[in-house]
Amino acid sequence: MNSSNRARNIACAVAFIVTLAVPAGVLAQTTSEEQTTSKGTSTQDGEAGVFRMGNSPSLRLGNQVRIDLHARVQADVSLQEESGAARDRLALGNRRIGVDGVLFKRVEFQIEREFSDVEPWRDVFADVRVHRALGIRAGHFKVPFSMERTTSAFDLDFIARAASVTDISPGRETGIMLHGRGPRRFFEYEFGVFRLAEPPLPPSVESGTDGAMLTAARFTFTPGNASIGIAFTGSRLPESLHGLSGYFDDDGLLSSEDFYVNGRRRRLGVEGRWTAGRLSIKGELLRQADSREGESVSNSDLSDLIVDGGYVSGVWRVVGSPRRSRRAVDVAVRFERLGFHSAAQSDAPSLGPRADHIAPLRQDAWTFGGTWLVNRWVKVQVNAIRQSFVDETGIRPEIPQARWRSLMRLQFAM
Amino acid sequence: MSDRHAPSRVIRPACLLAFLLLLRAGSVGAQTASTLFDDSVLHTLQIAIHSRDWDRLRSTYLENDYYPADLTWNGIRVTNVGVRSRGRVSRSGVKPGLQIDFAHYSTRGQFLGLQGLVLDNLLQDKSMIRERVAMAFLRRFGVPASREAFATVFVNGQYAGLYAMVEEVDSMFAQRALGDANGALFEYRWLRPYYGEYLGDDLDLYRQLFEPRAREYGSVFDLYDPIRELLRAINDTPAESFRDAVWMRLDLAALLRLVAADVLLGEADGIVSFAGMNNFYLHRHSTTQRHQFLPWDKDYALFQWNYPIMDGTSEHPLIRRALEDPELRTLYAGFLVEAVESATAADWLEQEAQRAYEQIREAALADPVKPYTNQEFEAEVAVVVDLARRRPAFVRSEVQRLFGGR
């Protein structure tokens, strides 16, 4: 799908949702007299006004319209001298601007754009709350899969998401989603249908994913201080070379390790989180199985290509309130694993793109980090990461040595 | 039969079955590379390759992209080998020459101790037997040369033509033929008529001509400085010290033996050719650091029975200067005579050409993708057999005329 078509579809979906929601919002409106306010002045909470300055600039029209403006930027600095000159070690990360808000108490919306040529539009959606147990979201937004993937890049405990989350989880797609929750958020669900766009970095050899549909469901239960969840996705998978490139960061190790896939892609994710005072622990197990129909050298089916992994992390709030705090210091540690293999492991392992027994490879990583919330807008993070690779078959010409990396991130988010 | 015999009714067939399986396993286990290259047999190779990969390999036959395939020979199936189109002027999208790399998708990949196998599409030789007969003669004459055997090749069950299976010149070959798997090995790349002149100090000029096939990751200096020094010695050393200076860097006896064999075969596209050096590998021994020329691609051998035996030698500094040295000239003349005797003993060369023809005739006639007619095939075989009959006598008379004695 080209970008103009996609933008048109998103716009139609948003307009549709807004149209559905406006009557309810209009019915709920108060009179204009009740909304009068002193234009152009900051106001206290509870007062009706036009402009406010909280965490971000906000436009309020009574309690019927709230529009917040956001601007966010990240800069990453490699702390290793061998990375080059200081100027070369600095890289701008996410740079986004956007608005979100609520219309007529029922319609939430978000529009966010990245300063980038690749997928500049991030979240563009409208979300109608019909009932606590039923909301409808339509537009371009994150597929409900993985706790960490659905967490904003500006709210992570570490500089980067776990590799398994990045590689296995789907990102943003255009679609429609039903969602809701039970009393006291004990139970939440999300169920969506999405239209897959052409991937920005095409691994496909024959045809893209354009037009294929993806179905996703996620259920979370929150008994007390703990939360557990399970998520699934399913989609058709056009014939392609499943690119595991980018899989192991900038080493390019797997850039040539591609395997033909064709048929269906199924993902399964299990997540958990537990909080006790200053300590919070969370983890996920993720698995992606790609079928390989008709992809053997004799045009018969091959066993599934499986990518799986997960992480477990712990965060300790050293300074600041255990709950939301504008100024705080956290220390954190994470262990993660990501690997791939085939379902069949009978014959000799191989790196051939049509091998039934794909030689497994995995990456383990430890991340030690600290986060300093300087104020409500500024965050500083430092991570030290040790990566190692395990090729149990030993058939690869070479794999990188285990290594340490260290990074610092400066973040401004308003 | 009573029930007490029941166990024996089961055990005996089981033992028989086990025995047969052991026999089968033994026969499979006994397969070696020598069996694969047994040229007394017309072999059969089955290649299973995804239909689209095969189409793509043929449509992009000028590329060197590898595709995964399974190879079956003599009941042994090797999975996940890499296959690509190969050759220079012999490249074809109709009947592609194929390079089989057993280690392409696994560093542990090998087949009967081989890392690779070349399937020569026999495109340039209408007789289809020149390469196979020439290599057989070289080996018979004591030249380290690739083993070869004919094979009918089936791709996804369909007859894809008659090919020659050629042993690849790699570190496995170097171990078998030269007893040195750790030496440097280069394939000569013909870019322009080049006769072995000294090219100067710039190592890049040598790197363009000699492509490393073993120890590829050595430094440019380690790889190419010895070649530069060899060529410097060949071209710049005074006549009186030529033999000693070159001998320490090159196995001159092996070279002259190879050139003599090429002369006997009427090779027009070898180390001494009409358009510079061509079709050879250069091996450098890991301990002695001496180089040795290894022959490759004999499609242009056995073409003209009276092909001049000194053709090309005057332009070739190495051969010209070697033949100016009385001792080396005598050695070379001896090799020429020895080659004649080897070819004529029991009419070996003629018999070998005839045997190769009879072995492949049926498969060659049935080859649906060869780019020449069956009449052309038969006529060209007649040329080769005739040459095999007449060439040794011609060489013998020329040796007597040009070198005297013997």
What is the model's pLDDT at position A34? 35
Whether the predicted pLDDT of A175 surpasses 50: yes
Kindly report the backbone phi and psi dihedral angles of residue B226, in degrees, each rounded to the nearest multiple of 5, phi listed first. -60, -35
Q: How many whole angstroms separate alpha carbon A126 and alpha carbon A177?
A: 11
Measured between beta carbons, which residues in chain B are less than 8 angstroms from residue A353?
68
Measured between beta carbons, which residues in chain B are less than 8 angstroms from residue A355?
68, 79-80, 105
Who among A347, A353, A393 is closest to B68 (CB)? A353
Report the share of chain A in percent with pLDDT over 90.
Answer: 52
Mean pLDDT of B328-339: 96
Kindly provide the b/e burial profile for residues A248-274, where b requires at least 16 CB atoms within 10 angstroms of the residue's own CB: bbeeebbeebbbbbbbebbbbbebbbe
Who among A299, A351, A359 is closest to B50 (CB)? A299
- What band does A389 get if pLDDT is binned at 50, 70 and 90? confident
Mean pLDDT of B4-30: 51
- The residue whose two tokens read 């590829």 is B216
Number of neighbours of residue A78 by Cβ within 10 angstroms: 17
What is the model's pLDDT at position B355? 97
**DSSP-derived pairing of the beta strands B148-155 and B43-49:** parallel
Q: Which range (A266-270, A395-399, B152-156) has the least confidence?
A: A395-399
What is the model's pLDDT at position B18? 56
Residues of A with CB under 8 A from a CB of B: 295-299, 347-356, 359, 393-397
Question: Helix, strand, or coil here: B312?
Answer: coil
Interface-testing mutation among B105, B107, B111, B217, with chain A (most A C-beta atoms within 10 A): B105
Whether the predicted pLDDT of B10 surpasses 80: no
Any idea how long chain A is? 414
Who among A297, A349, A353 is closest to B70 (CB)? A297
Q: How many whole angstroms separate alpha carbon A372 and alpha carbon B347?
A: 91
pLDDT, tens digit, for every residue of B253-266?
Answer: 999 999 999 999 99
Who among A297, A299, A351 is closest to B106 (CB)? A351
What is the model's pLDDT at position A359? 92
- What band does A94 get if pLDDT is binned at 50, 70 and 90? confident
- The residue whose two tokens read 């020149």 is B130
What is the model's pLDDT at position B12? 58
Q: How many whole angstroms separate alpha carbon B406 and alpha carbon B398?
A: 11
Who among B48, B50, B108 is closest to A395 (CB)? B108
What is the model's pLDDT at position B89? 85
Q: Which range (A2-6, A73-77, A103-107, B318-322) has the least confidence?
A: A2-6
Q: Which range (A193-207, A231-245, A386-400) has the least confidence?
A: A193-207
The alpha-carbon radius of gyration of chain B (Å, integer) is: 24
Whether the predicted pLDDT of A28 surpasses 50: no
Whether the predicted pLDDT of A339 surpasses 70: yes
CB B187 within 8 A of CB B216: no
pLDDT top residue among B311 and B216:
B311
Q: How many whole angstroms separate alpha carbon B69 and alpha carbon B74?
A: 17
pLDDT, tens digit, for every residue of A128-138?
Answer: 999 999 999 99
Query: In order of start, what are the domains of chain A with their CATH numbers?
Result: 56-413 (2.40.160.10)
Report CA-CA distances (Å) from A289 to A208, A262, A346: 18, 11, 18
Q: Which of residues 247-286 of B touch A (CB under 8 A)?
A: none
pLDDT top residue among A320 and A284:
A284
pLDDT, tens digit, for every residue of B66-91?
Answer: 999 999 999 999 999 999 999 888 89
Interface-testing mutation among B76, B106, B111, with chain A (most A C-beta atoms within 10 A): B106
Q: How many whole angstroms separate alpha carbon B311 and alpha carbon A47?
A: 105
Report the share of chain A in percent with pLDDT over 70.
Answer: 79
Assembly ipTM:
0.80
What is the model's pLDDT at position A112? 95
Q: How many whole angstroms separate alpha carbon B243 and alpha carbon B235?
A: 12
The alpha-carbon radius of gyration of chain A (Å, integer) is: 23
Find all residues with CB under 8 Å of A330, minimum gap 6, and list them.
A157, A315, A316, A317, A318, A370, A371, A373
Number of neighbours of residue A279 by Cβ within 10 angstroms: 12
Q: Which pairs with CB-CB distance under 8 Å and at least 24 residues apart come from A107-114?
A: A107/A17, A107/A18, A107/A21, A107/A22, A107/A25, A109/A14, A109/A18, A110/A141, A112/A70
Mean pLDDT of B301-317: 91
Report CA-CA distances (Å) from A96 to A153, A171, A202, B306: 11, 17, 24, 81
pLDDT, tens digit, for every residue of B112-133?
Answer: 999 999 999 999 999 999 999 9
Average pLDDT, rounded, for chain A: 82
B79 touches chain A (CB under 8 A): yes
- What band does B15 get if pLDDT is binned at 50, 70 and 90? low
- What band does B1 get if pLDDT is binned at 50, 70 and 90? very low
Indicate yes or no: CB of B79 within 8 angstroms of CB of A347.
yes
Indicate yes or no: CB of B80 within 8 angstroms of CB of A354.
yes
Interface-testing mutation among B46, B49, B50, with chain A (most A C-beta atoms within 10 A): B50
pLDDT, tens digit, for every residue of A37-83?
Answer: 333 344 444 455 688 777 788 998 888 899 999 999 999 988 876 65
Number of neighbours of residue A183 by Cβ within 10 angstroms: 8
pLDDT, tens digit, for every residue of B183-222?
Answer: 999 999 999 999 999 999 999 999 999 999 987 778 899 9
Whether the predicted pLDDT of A151 surpasses 60: yes
Measured between beta carbons, which residues in chain A are less than 8 angstroms from residue B70?
297-298
Whether the predicted pLDDT of A400 surpasses 80: no
What is the model's pLDDT at position B6? 47
pLDDT, tens digit, for every residue of B345-385?
Answer: 999 999 999 999 999 999 999 999 999 999 999 999 999 99
Under DSSP, the state recorded for A35 is G
CB B281 within 8 A of CB B248: no
Indicate yes or no: CB of B105 within 8 angstroms of CB of A394.
no
- What band does A85 get if pLDDT is binned at 50, 70 and 90? low
Nearest to A125, CA basis, from A135, A115, A134: A135
- What band does A239 get if pLDDT is binned at 50, 70 and 90? confident
Angle between helices B252-265 and B374-403 (to 10 degrees): 130
Mean pLDDT of A231-249: 73
Give me the residue spans of the domains in chain B. Answer: 33-167, 181-346+391-403
Interface-testing mutation among A259, A354, A361, A396, with chain B (most B C-beta atoms within 10 A): A354
Indicate yes or no: CB of A359 within 8 angstroms of CB of B51.
no
